[in-house]
Structure 1
Amino acid sequence: MKSWYLLFCKKQEQLRAKTHLENQGVNCYYPELVVEKIVRGKVKKVREPLFPNYVFINFDVETGPSFTTIRSTRGVVDFVRCGLSPQVVSEELITSLKSIDDLRLSIDQTPTAGDVVRVVSGQYSGVEAIYEEPDGERRSFLLINLLNNQVKISVENCHLDL
C-alpha cells in the first residue's frame, strides 16, 4: 500500500531530487508559493518552496523502490524519521496542502506606495510612517512626520511590520 513520506534534501537541490525520484517511478509533491520580492530594485513574483529542503514522496515499500535506493538518489540526504524508521505522513495533510496549492495563494511582502506601516525596531521604533518606495532589496523609503514636516528616511525591511 502506498504511503507518504517526507525527505530532507540537500540545500537548493529539491528539484533535482524530485526529478530523479520521478524517473524512478516515485510520486513527488513539492509545494511552492508565489511571493512578491524586490530583486535588484524591481518588484518580481518569485516561486519559493513552502518547506525549503523538503520533498513529500508517495510510494509502496513492498513493490519498490527501497528506502536505500531513495536515500541514495542525487539531492536526497535522508528520510525524516521517528526513531529508526521513516515517519509516515498522513494523507489528510497532503490533501490539505494540495487544496491550498490549488488556490494559488500569493503572499505580498511589499506594501504599495501610500500604505501606512509601523517601524517595530531600530532607530525609529514605534513610529508610524507612510511607505513610499523600495530602496534596494532590503530597505524601503518611508515618510515620517518629524516636527510637522514630512521627512524621507530609508529603513531596513526587517524593522517594519508589513
Structure 2
Amino acid sequence: MSETATAPGTAESTATLTTFWYLVHTKPRQETIALTNLERQGYACYLPQMRIERVRRGKALVVTEAMFPRYLFIQLDSSDQAKSWAPIRSTLGVSQLVRFGTQTARVDDALVDLLREREQARPLEALFHSGETVVITRGPFAGIEAIYQTADAERRALILLEIMSRKVEMRVDAGDLARVE
C-alpha cells in the first residue's frame, strides 16, 4: 500500500476494494452506442480501439474500430451501497453482462491497464506493407500483380509493376489493390 493511501475503513478505501472491471457484451456493431449510453448513466467504461486502414467505396480510409468487437469493459462497485446494475442490461446497445454460470465475469485491473498502454502505443495498422505482392483490381492493369512500395499523403499507393521486363513505378488508389493470397 502506498504512503498516500487512505486509512482502512474510510469510504475511499472501501470503494477501491469493491470496485472491479467487468465485461459487457454488446449488440452487433453497437459498441460505441453502448459506451455512450452507459457513460450517460454515470458508469465508468472503457472501449479498447485501434486505428486501421480499410477500403470503403473503393478508397483507402483510416477508421477506428473496436479491438474486441461486441465487447467493452465497465467498472462496477460490488458493495451493498453501490449503484444498481439493473439498468445495464436494458441500456441501448447492450446485450448483457458476460457471465460464467451465475457468476458475473470479473476482469483483472492489470489487464485493463495493459490494454490501455497497448492502445496508446499501437501504430496505425496499414492496409499493405512494403514489399508485399498485391494485385490491381480495377483499371487498365486489372489482374496484374505488382510489388507494394509505400503510400503517399493522398492515400495513393506507389507500386512497382513489371512491364516488358522492366520495373516501372506507378501510383494507384490503394482501394484498387488487393493482397495476393
TM-score relative to the length of structure 1: 0.71
- Kindly indicate which of the two structures has a greater share of residues assigned to strand: 1
> Does residue 1:41 correspond to 2:58, yes or no?
yes
CA displacement at 1:148 relative to structure 2: 5.0
Tell me which of 125, 131, 135 is aligned to 1:116: 131
- Name structure 2 gaps, 5 residues minimum: 1-17, 135-144, 151-156, 168-175
Larger Rg, first or second structure (1 or 2): 2
Structure-to-structure mapping, 1:61-140, within 5 angstroms: 61-62=78-79, 63-66=82-85, 68-111=86-129, 115-118=130-133, 129-131=146-148
Identity of paired residues, percent?
32
CA displacement at 1:43 relative to structure 2: 2.2
TM-score relative to the length of structure 2: 0.64
- Name structure 1 gaps, 5 residues minimum: 120-127, 134-139
CA displacement at 1:116 relative to structure 2: 2.6
CA displacement at 1:146 relative to structure 2: 9.4
CA-to-partner distance for each residue in 1:64-96, whole Å, 9 max, x for gaps? Answer: 222x32112111111122222111000010000
CA displacement at 1:104 relative to structure 2: 4.6
**1:42 and 1:4 mapped to 2: Cα distance?**
38
Query: What root-mean-square deviation, in Å, do the aligned CA atoms of Structure 1 and Structure 2 show?
Result: 3.1
Structure-to-structure mapping, 1:150-161, within 5 angstroms: 157=178, 159-160=180-181
CA displacement at 1:38 relative to structure 2: 2.4
Q: Would the aligned equivalents of 2:46 and 2:74 in 1 still touch at CA under 8 Å?
A: yes
CA displacement at 1:59 relative to structure 2: 1.3
Tell me which of 3, 22, 27 is aligned to 2:44: 27
Relative distance call for 1:71 and 1:105 in structure 2 (3 A) is same
**2:58 and 2:64 mapped to 1: Cα distance?**
18
Relative distance call for 1:132 and 1:38 in structure 2 (3 A) is farther
SS at match of 2:125: strand
Q: Would the aligned equivalents of 1:30 and 1:49 in 2 still touch at CA under 8 Å?
A: yes
**Equivalent residue number for residue 52 of structure 1:** 69
